[in-house]
Amino acid sequence: MTATSRAAAAPPVRDHAAERRWVGRSIRRVEDPKFLRGQGGYIADRITPGTLHAAVLRSPYAHARILRIDASRARAAPGVHAVITGQQAAELCDPMPDFGPDPARHTWRCLAADKVRYVGEGLAVAVADSRYLAEDALELIEVDYEPLPAVVDPESALADGAPLVHEALESNCAYERSFDFGEVERDFAEADVIVTDRLRWHRSGGQPLETVGAIAEYDPATGSFTIDTNTLSFTSYLFMAANTLKVPANKLDIRPVPAGGSFGSKLFANKPGVIAAMCARETGKKVAYLEDRTDNISNCDHHGSDRIYEVELAMMRDGTMRSIKIDVIDDYGAYIQFGVGHHGNALAQVTGPYTIPSVRYRVRAALTNKNQQGAYRGFGSEVNNWMLEQMVDKAARELGLDPVAVRRKNFIREFPHFIPTGNVYDSGDYDKVLDKALELAGYDHWRAEQQRLREQEGRYIGIGVISAQERSVFSATEFWFWFDEPGAPVTSTPESVTLSVDATGGITATLYSCAFWGNSPETMVAQFVAEEFDCDPYDVSVAYHGSRAGLPATGPGGSRTTVMLAGAVEGAAAKIKQKARAAAAHLLEIAPTDLEWADGGFQVRGDPQQRKALGEIAVMLHLFKHTFPEDMESGLEASKVFDHPYTTMPSADRKDLGVFYPFMGHACHIPVVEVDIETGAVTFLHYAAVHDCGTLVNPRSLAGHIVGGTAQGIGTALYEEYVYDDDGQLLSASYLDYLIPSAMEVPELAIGHVETPSPYTPHGIKGGGEGGRMMAPAAINAAVNDALAPLGVRLTELPMTPERILSALRDAGKAG
Amino acid sequence: MASEAHPISLTVNGRPVAASVEPRRLLVDFLREDLGLIGAHIGCEQGVCGTCTVLLNGASIRSCITFAVQADGAEVSTVEGLASHGELHPLQDEFSDKQGLQCGYCTPGMLMRACEILAQNPDPTLTQVREAIASNLCRCTGYQFIAEAVLAAAARMRESKEVAS
């Protein structure tokens, strides 16, 4: 696509209001009161007397054929209502919804039927009067396994002759393709220096403190399922879950309940709901299946990225970046439910904030005997951020240049800017963010301290500076542009809101796929509604609609919720106001165009005494239909299905992927760390973070997401890893071994905001929920490497556990 | 396996409770399922995360690795007892004001732990608060605003104590 035609495909540039009453204020969250009182209404809080409990038998083997299951003793145990084996489940249910490359050849079921493919995979479920009795029953199930060789290392998995995770696929490579964007070979030929590296990012995951759970009921009279769950999302695709349960989509209602955190890991997590529903239909009773922690760590289907990079960065001696070749193997585990969408995330911002003119991106998706990947805050783009910033630092070091100056030299400064993959960056001011961060960090002070402490006390202080992107609001194309002939080239990722004004003027907002996941959909919507109608946000009521008969909706993910809800509220409010204006004009006996909206009602231009407040209009519309012209219906309600505001299609040759992640946030993180070269421990001395995600809605909420995301990034950088040994045994199957940062590992953050509004979204908002975790791993790695630079040591593998740091020091002959 | 139920009697949030429980019944299940006190949440079931924290005779414990029978004769305090006459406790109010919660799942455990901290030391430093709440994991907030809320509540509680005396 040419530059002109690219620009022509952009949506109109918006005028943003100069002043706002509610958007931009750090109001208390409207969700909080129930949680503070311990009345959250989470899924476990909703189990009613008489509900049966399910527990899942997990595989102790990484890879084994199931020769025989005998559940007869379990079925006869006290309080047990049913035991369903994987073989039986395969008859009761079709395979799970799967967006992978070739689902028929890497078939994924709610319970393993023929062989188990990772430690923790479910192969039977027991249903009993209590969780205690269900777990007792699991002990009585006898299984004969034929252990098979485990495929654990992703590079070995791709080698010839490796044992196959899925025989039908005839390979452990689920996807492979190389893309060229721009003139890669020309740019490499013209470069002065090629900087190369191999980088390793191990898997971690969201690990919300509440696991995934569902309570299901089956009504034989209507043939309908009702599933209450903490995972509702992608309502538009829940017909696929209905297919799994073999019922029509309109006979399945999945209803959202508040979730105790997700961080991506509850995205489209339908397996517990399917298991509970299957058990409910078999027993004729309401059934709850709540994962325990071991289920969640080993069998949640939401492990994060697990990548090996070979990278070449083409540079000029003056620090100009010319091109980059990225070759990545991603260990997807035993299944690949979302395809390689995680790399779509990476391609949205693959060149970071820099004017790199060309990119080669080769991706290979390896299947191994591990739990499969799903979503974790960043969805794979955080890994790309880390890789790119590592390369920039390495280039600066090899060229003898200042890493801050190299970044600044290559910053994009004109917007909208199309990167080589075709995605657009809508707006930004990267210098401003960097300047503010350097100031907030006390950068010059710490550089002086670093030198002083090195020379006088022999301490190793490191300062990391990274500048990176936070894409927001994905469109569906990133899940299928991988294929020349995609199976389902869908183009819609909408979000919907219904606004209902009751007879007294009270406003209720109904959300369709946006449950509460720890983000603040109710507060965001309340602030938007208050902005539109000049009401108090605490007077707005928010309701959550189930999937049945719900409007098209997608839900949290890809930092889209706030922007999309803003658009949906704006659209629904416009419809409400249009009807209210017509009604007020009729009541005031004046032309609609002579009215203006002010202070929560319509008034005559130039004569504010003549006005009708929204409540006065609403009561007339609800109760006094015959006051109005024949064509005006009773009531005051409107819905808006807000489609993705800026998507363009990929080119047929896939040299241009189109616009798919246009609202581009940006951040600079500057941690100051000390590395103890005797113990390998890393401690924080300071941490500054400046984010720009457009217009702020609730600055304190965003700050909370920045700190929380950074805490998770600290986990990714230093502590958290799902460790599988050479036999595929999961060594970190509890919180005793999977180390989540506590208040002693997370420092106080100095937080700064820059606001560069998006020209294309309501109020100029960009998403910001993932930024902390998208920056921190790169920044902390940079800081550790800066600390160890005098020793000639660089860490290239995350997490940087004490063991890995000491090992790197030993390899360099620098062990303390 | 299940065995005979044991009678227990205890005080929960100031009210006497008598019940009969299986020896293996966990305190958290007893509170949640038998008494309907759903504020104590189950996080890891291994005593690590602190989400299930309640006070037993004023000391914080992990109710997911405590048997109900171990609470026989004890005074148990849960988050449901914090607000009085519908008015939020200063800790609850400051958690809201400082946005010391996001998903809210760790919040009851954090609040109960914070009660214990402030009972032991009404005027803690930021570092002391961080050290003390390191017993409990939060996956959302990164702890900064929790610590801020605890310090703000401590100041308010000291003031109201001075006024009262």
Domain ranges of chain B: 6-81, 90-164
Mean pLDDT of A622-640: 96
Question: At a CB cut-off of 8 Å and minimum separation 6, what does A185 contact?
Answer: none
What pLDDT score does A704 carry?
Answer: 98
**A&B contacts, CB < 8 Å:** 183
Helix ranges (DSSP H) in chain B: 27-29, 90-97, 107-120, 126-133, 144-164
| Of residues A295, A417, A365, A353, the one with CA closest to residue A730 | A295
CATH architecture of structural domain B6-81: Roll (3.10)
| DSSP assignment of A125-166 | EEEESSHHHHHHHHHT-EEEEEE-----SHHHHHSTTPPPSS
What pLDDT score does A6 carry?
Answer: 83
- pTM value is 0.97
Residues of A in contact with B101 (CB under 8 A): 32, 35-36
For B57, the 3-state DSSP assignment is coil
User: How sure is the predictor about A368, in pLDDT bands with cuts at 50, 70 and 90?
Assistant: very high
Residues of A in contact with B49 (CB under 8 A): 209, 735, 740
Every domain of chain A and the residues it spans: 3-30+494-642, 426-472+661-816
Question: At a CB cut-off of 8 Å and minimum separation 6, what does A275 contact?
Answer: A54, A56, A110, A111, A122, A125, A214, A289
Question: At a CB cut-off of 8 Å and minimum separation 6, what does A249 contact?
Answer: A238, A239, A242, A243, A548
The fraction of chain A above a pLDDT of 90, given in percent, is: 97
pLDDT tens readout for residues A417-439: 999 999 999 999 999 999 999 99
Helices A699-714, A771-788: crossing angle, 10 deg rounding: 50
User: How sure is the predictor about A3, in pLDDT bands with cuts at 50, 70 and 90?
Assistant: low
Is there a contact between A277 and A224 (Cβ–Cβ < 8 Å)? no
pLDDT tens readout for residues A268-299: 999 999 999 999 999 999 999 999 999 999 99
Query: Does B48 contact A735 at a Cβ distance shorter than 8 Å?
Result: yes
What pLDDT score does B1 carry?
Answer: 47
pLDDT tens readout for residues A750-759: 999 999 999 9
- Assigned token pair, A691: 């984010």
State the Cα–Cα distance between residues A360 and A323, nearest whole angstrom.
8
Query: Does B130 contact A743 at a Cβ distance shorter than 8 Å?
Result: yes
Q: Cα distance from B54 to chain A (closest Cα, Å)?
A: 12
User: How sure is the predictor about A814, in pLDDT bands with cuts at 50, 70 and 90?
Assistant: confident
State the Cα–Cα distance between residues A74 and A126, nearest whole angstrom.
8
Same fold, A3-30+494-642 and A426-472+661-816: yes
Is there a contact between A216 and A127 (Cβ–Cβ < 8 Å)? no
Stated as kind and residue range, the H or E segment containing A217 is strand A213-219
Same fold, B6-81 and B90-164: no
User: How sure is the predictor about A618, in pLDDT bands with cuts at 50, 70 and 90?
Assistant: very high
What pLDDT score does A815 carry?
Answer: 59
State the Cα–Cα distance between residues A154 and A637, nearest whole angstrom.
54
A44 touches chain B (CB under 8 A): yes
User: What's the burial of A237, exposed, middle or buried (CB within 10 Å: 0-12/13-18/19+)?
Assistant: middle
State the Cα–Cα distance between residues A69 and A283, nearest whole angstrom.
20
Question: At a CB cut-off of 8 Å and minimum separation 6, what does B108 contact?
Answer: A38, B39, B40, B41, B51, B53, B78, B79
What pLDDT score does A239 carry?
Answer: 95
Position A1 pLDDT exceeds 60: no
pLDDT tens readout for residues A85-115: 999 999 999 999 999 999 999 999 999 999 9
Query: Does A35 contact B104 at a Cβ distance shorter than 8 Å?
Result: yes
CATH assignment of A426-472+661-816? Answer: 3.30.365.10
What pLDDT score does A381 carry?
Answer: 97
A140 touches chain B (CB under 8 A): no
For A615, the 3-state DSSP assignment is helix
What pLDDT score does B2 carry?
Answer: 53
Helices B144-164, B126-133: crossing angle, 10 deg rounding: 110
User: What's the burial of A485, exposed, middle or buried (CB within 10 Å: 0-12/13-18/19+)?
Assistant: exposed
| Terminal CA-CA length for chain B | 54
The fraction of chain A above a pLDDT of 70, given in percent, is: 99
Question: At a CB cut-off of 8 Å and minimum separation 6, what does A760 contact?
Answer: A10, A11, A13, A14, A426, A645, A646, A662, A663
Let me know how many helices (H) and strands (E) chain B has, helices first. 5, 5
More confident residue, B79 or B164: B79
State the Cα–Cα distance between residues A586 and A175, nearest whole angstrom.
62
Q: Which of A37, A297, A691 to mutate to test the interface with B (most CBs of B within 10 A)?
A: A37
The DSSP secondary-structure symbol of A205 reads: B
Position A488 pLDDT exceeds 90: no
Residues of A in contact with B103 (CB under 8 A): 35, 208-210, 258-262, 516-518
More confident residue, A492 or A353: A353
State the Cα–Cα distance between residues A438 and A444, nearest whole angstrom.
8
Q: Tokens 């996956």 — which residue?
A: B139
> What CATH class does B90-164 carry?
mainly alpha
Position B162 pLDDT exceeds 60: yes
Per-residue buried b or exposed e for A285-297, using 16+ beta carbons within 10 Å of the residue's own CB? bbbbbbbbbbbbb
Residue type at A39? Q
- Assigned token pair, A29: 């969250």
Residue A457 has phi, psi (to 5 degrees) of -120, 0
Is there a contact between A192 and B120 (Cβ–Cβ < 8 Å)? no
Query: Does A261 contact B102 at a Cβ distance shorter than 8 Å?
Result: yes
- Assigned token pair, A168: 């039908």
State the Cα–Cα distance between residues A514 and A31, nearest whole angstrom.
14
Per-residue buried b or exposed e for A198-221, using 16+ beta carbons within 10 Å of the residue's own CB? ebebbbbbbbbbbbbbbbbbbeee
For A479, the 3-state DSSP assignment is helix
Q: Residue A223: how many CB atoms within 10 A of its CB?
A: 11
Mean pLDDT of A217-227: 98
| DSSP assignment of A689-726 | EEEE-BS-S-HHHHHHHHHHHHHHHHIIIII----B-T
pLDDT tens readout for residues A244-273: 999 999 999 999 999 999 999 999 999 999
State the Cα–Cα distance between residues B12 and B10, nearest whole angstrom.
6
User: How sure is the predictor about B117, in pLDDT bands with cuts at 50, 70 and 90?
Assistant: very high
Instruction: Calculate the average pLDDT of chain B.
Output: 96
Question: At a CB cut-off of 8 Å and minimum separation 6, what does A596 contact?
Answer: A602, A603, A604, A605
Q: Cα distance from B73 to chain A (closest Cα, Å)?
A: 24
A683 touches chain B (CB under 8 A): no
For A328, the 3-state DSSP assignment is strand
Position A4 pLDDT exceeds 90: no
Instruction: Calculate the average pLDDT of chain A.
Output: 97
User: How sure is the predictor about A2, in pLDDT bands with cuts at 50, 70 and 90?
Assistant: low
Q: Greatest CA span in chain B, whole angstroms?
A: 55
**What is the number of alpha carbons within 13 Å of residue A648 lying toward its C-beta?**
21
What pLDDT score does B85 carry?
Answer: 86
Evaluate whether the domain defined by A3-30+494-642 bears CATH number 3.40.50.300. Answer: no
Mean pLDDT of A589-612: 97
